[in-house]
Amino acid sequence: MSPADQTVGGGAAETPLRSWLEADGALLRLRLARPKANLVDAAMIAALDAALVAHRDRAGLLGVLLDADGPHFSFGASVEEHLAEQCAAMLAALHGLVLRMIDFPAPILVAIRGQCLGGGLEVAMAGGLLFAAADAKFGQPEIRLGVFAPAASVLLPERVGQIAAEDLLLSGRTIDAREAQALGLVAAVADDPAGAALAWFNANLAGKSAATVRYALRAVRGDYAPRVRAGIARVERLYLDELMTGHDANEGLDAFLAKRPAVWKHA
């Protein structure tokens, strides 16, 4: 089945996501389909969530491959949806997707080209193995806008360790694919990251028992998944009940949208 054969989230001209099955139904392909930004906004989150719900109980499913149309995986979340009036709904939806991915019963492989930033990196980290092109760039730039990245504050320490996570989250800096691989964020760097992910699937998952893979994934994530779930709940409350009630977070977002320098009050 080709990308044109099945879509999620609306008609083919409107959908933010393409979805189809390969390998006789053993591999679910998901493709962010709103280049070049592929923003992780409410529509994209809903489409990804719907696709995972639709295929969660598919017999024989051995894996998922998530990639993106265009030169970039994702520029991140919608800044407008981070504003005070919308951020609670946005975080609830994004964190619900992250937890659904963490709990998904088949491995989720992610293939990344170009920029993978902010909410886009949070979604990628909610998957399993990341395969990156040499031109891929990774970062959580939220702190430059006066906010922090809630899901990444939980997922990055799990991925790269506490010190490296603090470096990336507090600086907001961007790293390339080789540094991401050295940190353990990326499993492999390849000219064709989707091809590399497919090769890994064919070499390591194809032909195995889907039931056994489910149990193996549950076993290896036995302590990890509850830690992420508890951490997500903690940082969501910190973001909504404390950060967004202050001046600087709202000022930073407003300044970004108005394309002017932020005026911090350090409060």
Q: What DSSP letter does each residue of 38-68 carry, written as one string?
A: --B-HHHHHHHHHHHHHHTT-TT--EEEEEE
The pLDDT, as a whole number, for residue 82 is: 87
Q: Which pair of structure tokens corresponds to residue 110? A: 């992610």
Q: How do 63-68 and 27-32 pair as beta strands?
A: parallel
pLDDT of residue 167: 98
Burial of 27 (0-12, 13-18, 19+ CB in 10 A): buried
pLDDT at 261: 97
pLDDT score recorded for residue 212: 98
What is the number of alpha carbons within 13 Å of residue 61 lying toward its C-beta?
Answer: 22
Q: Using CB atoms within 10 Å of the CB of residue 241, give its burial: 0 to 12 exposed, 13 to 18 middle, 19+ buried.
A: exposed
Fold for 7-258, please state it.
Answer: 2-enoyl-CoA Hydratase; Chain A, domain 1 (3.90.226)
pLDDT of residue 9: 41
Residue 123's nearest CA partner among 93, 88, 85, 147 is 93
Give the N- to C-terminal CA distance of the chain in Å, as an integer: 53
- What confidence score (pLDDT) does residue 92 get? 97
**pTM score, whole prediction:** 0.94
In this prediction, residue 56 carries a pLDDT of: 97
Residue with tokens 């967004």: 244
Give the model's pLDDT for residue 25. Answer: 97
Structure tokens at 135: 């031109």
Tell me the mean pLDDT per 10 residues along the chain, length 267: 40 77 98 97 98 97 98 95 92 98 98 98 98 98 97 98 98 98 98 98 98 97 96 98 97 95 97
Domain boundaries in the chain?
A: 7-258
Q: Which DSSP symbol is given to 35? A: T
Query: Packing angle between helix 162-171 and helix 150-160, nearest 10 degrees?
Result: 140
